[in-house]
Structure 1
């Protein structure tokens, strides 16, 4: 529990109603979108400015009280669960769109701004912000930055780290720093901007960000390729990339996911197919967009697609994209607990990874639906289970351990966009090695010597032993 002097100091900074310690508030901010993970904070605070955050962190650092920055809590790695108690700092009062600079093609905003609202505001200017996480309707841009969010357009356009060019942040001791700016070229010293993007709130609190924008693509075509063999679909992904085509979106959806999504959305998805590829191409030249689409249709058929359909209207295309974006929420209807991961492999290894996931799910007798951003190798194996069934949960955990190991053996990683947080911390050493872990810990210590910034995230007390997979 917090000392009375700490409560008094925090309330003096933000006002009586913007610091809460009653049970209802503590419970409301004790969990995020990650299943089976909940810890009560000691208090919840709602700052309104960079200066307030600076003063808050000075107090918390003095008393060595943990602090967890939070946006909408839509992350899937336990990143905003206060596992060591302390204070949850909610950024919902800092949601201003400060500027859209059409001369420099940049935008500047506060971290609490809703992702979808930002996209719509930018599009009114004929501009385009590519990172589009599936949670964009509810997520905040600050959360996207902390997790380095990706999305359906990651193959062609990259992820959040490719667009953040300037940050304002508050260090644990209350110091305010600015990194980068409205500059497309800046090599002055270490790249602190890139270091903070994806740091999961373990180094500093982001209070303002500047991102680069692109001219909006003028033309767009969307197609659906259907397969009776899941491996043909996976091989098509490699074939498209191997033919030097980079679509804006190249998504993979397996049959179990298809059936649930169609049952919910009723848009005519082919539930008798083992898998589909949802492919979209965009650009400023209609001829080039159509050329790419026709070439991809040829490749799909060459790789044994049972059928290929082009969306004939913008509304039909949007329905297809929304069906993919709703995959997680619709899968959550199968059973009480839905565990979604994001093992990522090189694009050329998609077929092998899909095959490995299928074998592992059969080995442990668990239902794993697979969908994801196949074009950039980022698959989302998703298990519908029940947290009350402890024996099944154990099998699910063992299955995901083997999935992570399979990804690494194929040259991949344990997470492509969801982050490490608490959930994957025990497996981080599998990817970066003990020397990498030690280097990261030293960076964390340099920023945060008292370890108050989102403690117990990224770094596990003990790494899990590697599993052995017999191919």
Structure 2
């Protein structure tokens, strides 16, 4: 089938308005938020509104042997949704229905185009809670979260996206629909195929529906902030928290560069002092006296580790104000240039070593590197700031990005905790999992997508 014939067929199946070919329009769908990742020029962008439309697109592209790149809102940070030349970008945002909220069984059925925050607000009306909260939760979609196995600030207690997935509906490479998983609390019938597709970045199939587990709505959180004059002291506090079995609902860390950027942007003083090198932000959503005891135990751990300042509050507005400093860091760094954020996880006992490594790299490349992250699970986000019109600075930023990954691996970590591999970490995936791991990945890909039409070149190549 020629490309003209493919476009004619897609318009017949979906309607003319759902098939976009204008270069200016398709260009806006060609990449996500990661500036390092390559992108191409798509043949077309299609926006089906139901599962039958997705099937029609997959079948038509299979017949024409044209690659398909599934896409949500485009908030990703790995290039996983980036177009390749001549592909069809399959945008899932029109499949945006919350099909069911089953409060009795604490689950919901949703389509992939539902925005994370909209879903969280909808289930909250039923006294329920959907935990995954990536920083782009006010515009990222559930489908994108599933495809990258997104996390967020609540991971330390509630886990990442896959920990909330009961089942999926997926369109396979031949256009058939696979239904995986269950609606029950327990179930071990067959392979856990749902987990196979979560985090697969659209390389194995197109997720069209998800059955998600919900939790009771937590109590309003109490908040603790602790400042340290060394990152080592902050790392000691994190390690002891883990060792003693405390599980706060949130435990975040900010380095000195992040603190200063946030304070300047918010025009406020976080009370940590000018010599503060690291700030821990913790919350407990256990409620009442339990939360107060948990925060008191965390505060004591921080003080024993050498905190120069601690402050706890159960005032919700005050807690939100403190947490805002963590959430605005990326925006705050735009005061100094554009940012390039990395995503590396290390054992929680080695967080301080990672931050120190980032400081060394910052000095070597001559660029600002600010580190924030989820201290409770060791997932750090070193963020490199550079001038976009300076080719030399961009090259140094790219070097810093890779050197941070190298440090993470040498500390016993992983090259991605929640952003995914995409098109920027393919060689790093191979380095991390080795030749046998890569062989198994390729065998699974070839079994489910023998023509290599689903997001080819994302995560790894077949050769």
SS in 2 for 1:75: coil
Would you say 1:322 and 2:324 are equivalent positions? yes
Q: Deviations over 1:46-83 (max 9, x none)?
A: 00111111111001011111111111100000011113
SS in 1 for 2:100: strand
- In 1: Cα distance, 2:382 partner to 2:273 partner: 19
- Bigger mean CA deviation after superposition, 203-212 or 345-354: 345-354
Would you say 1:305 and 2:307 are equivalent positions? yes
1:181 corresponds in structure 2 to: 182
- In 1: Cα distance, 2:230 partner to 2:105 partner: 48
Kept in 2: contact 1:134–1:326 (CA 8 A): no
Q: Deviations over 1:312-335 (max 9, x none)?
A: 521111122233122222223321
2:278 corresponds in structure 1 to: 275
How many residue pairs get matched?
Answer: 460
Q: Deviations over 1:328-367 (max 9, x none)?
A: 22223321x3110111011111122222222222233222
- In 2: Cα distance, 1:2 partner to 1:153 partner: 48
Question: What are the residue-to-residue correspondences of 1:374-453 with 2, within 5 Å?
Answer: 374-453=375-454
Kept in 2: contact 1:202–1:457 (CA 8 A): yes
Kept in 2: contact 1:203–1:448 (CA 8 A): yes
SS in 1 for 2:344: coil
Kept in 2: contact 1:2–1:42 (CA 8 A): no
1:25 corresponds in structure 2 to: 25
- In 1: Cα distance, 2:399 partner to 2:105 partner: 49
Report the CA distance between 1:130 and its aligned residue: 0.9
- In 2: Cα distance, 1:323 partner to 1:90 partner: 33
- In 1: Cα distance, 2:205 partner to 2:85 partner: 17
Kept in 1: contact 2:415–2:432 (CA 8 A): yes
Report the CA distance between 1:112 and its aligned residue: 0.2
SS in 2 for 1:355: helix
Kept in 2: contact 1:36–1:387 (CA 8 A): no
- In 2: Cα distance, 1:322 partner to 1:100 partner: 30
Kept in 2: contact 1:231–1:354 (CA 8 A): no
**Cα RMSD for the two superposed structures:** 1.6
SS in 2 for 1:443: helix
1:157 corresponds in structure 2 to: 158
Report the CA distance between 1:303 and its aligned residue: 1.2
Question: What are the residue-to-residue correspondences of 1:203-218 with 2, within 5 Å?
Answer: 203-218=204-219
SS in 2 for 1:376: coil
- In 2: Cα distance, 1:244 partner to 1:400 partner: 33
- In 1: Cα distance, 2:97 partner to 2:269 partner: 40
1:264 corresponds in structure 2 to: 265
SS in 2 for 1:177: strand
Q: Deviations over 1:409-455 (max 9, x none)?
A: 22210000000000111211111001111110111111111111011
Q: Could you tell me which runs of 5 or more consecutive residues in structure 2 were left unpaired when the two chains were aligned.
A: none
Question: What are the residue-to-residue correspondences of 1:106-117 with 2, within 5 Å?
Answer: 106-117=107-118
Kept in 1: contact 2:229–2:277 (CA 8 A): yes
Change (3 A) 1:460 1:451: closer
Q: Deviations over 1:233-275 (max 9, x none)?
A: 1221112112211111110011111122122223432462222
Report the CA distance between 1:219 and its aligned residue: 4.5
Q: Could you tell me which runs of 5 or more consecutive residues in structure 1 were left unpaired when the two chains were aligned.
A: 463-471
- In 1: Cα distance, 2:342 partner to 2:190 partner: 35
Change (3 A) 1:271 1:2: farther
1:467 corresponds in structure 2 to: none
Question: What are the residue-to-residue correspondences of 1:316-395 with 2, within 5 Å?
Answer: 316-335=318-337, 337-395=338-396
Kept in 2: contact 1:255–1:271 (CA 8 A): no
SS in 2 for 1:370: strand
